[in-house]
Amino acid sequence: MTSELTRDYSITFFYYDDIHAVVPFYEEVLGFELVLDQTMARIYRIAPNSYFGIVDGNRGHLKHQPKSAVLLTIVSEDVQAWHDKLSAAQVPGLSGMLRGTFCEHFFFEDPAGYAIEIQRFHNPDVAKLFR
């Protein structure tokens, strides 16, 4: 017998050697809204039901890794405005605007080297899958 378990939202966490070094990036450069400061972790709202957290990798459940192998993707209708803002802020690792089969997007890095992508699905049929 199986039952359907509810899923209300998710939180993705990145682990840092020094979370205080990346707080200005997430709060000032990206403008993420701080929802909860747990001292060893900070949780941000990045969309109505989408959350992201940063964790002290010396105290958290997982440990900070010298090289990350994850990508945080933020979906936005105005990819160019994001690119312009991050270009003006001289964010490291900022790629040019790219257009693929399904989306227009670009990549950049946070101060600790984690990869982040901003994208928009330009095919309306694909975009509908995520609403």
Q: Are residues 27 and 87 in the same domain?
A: no
Q: Are residues 18 and 76 in the same domain?
A: no
Q: Are residues 89 and 105 in the same domain?
A: yes
Q: At 89, which CATH number?
A: 3.10.180.10
Domain that holds residue 58: 1-63
Q: Are residues 31 and 77 in the same domain?
A: no
Closest to 75 in 3D by CA, of 27, 127, 24, 112: 127
The domain boundary residue, chosen from 44, 63, 82: 63
Pairing of strands 50-56, 41-47: antiparallel
Q: Are residues 87 and 120 in the same domain?
A: yes
Instruction: Give the contacts of 66 (CB within 8 A, at least 6 positions apart).
Output: none
Q: Are residues 71 and 105 in the same domain?
A: yes
pLDDT at 56: 93
The domain boundary residue, chosen from 32, 47, 63: 63
Q: Are residues 104 and 58 in the same domain?
A: no
pLDDT at 3: 67
pLDDT at 67: 80
What is the rounded distance in angstroms from the CA atom of residue 99 to the CA atom of residue 93?
18
Give the residue ranges of the chain where pLDDT is below 50.
none
Q: Are residues 127 and 84 in the same domain?
A: yes
pLDDT at 2: 59
What is the rounded distance in angstroms from the CA atom of residue 42 to the CA atom of residue 51?
10
Number of helices (H), then strands (E), in the chain: 3, 8
Q: Are residues 40 and 94 in the same domain?
A: no
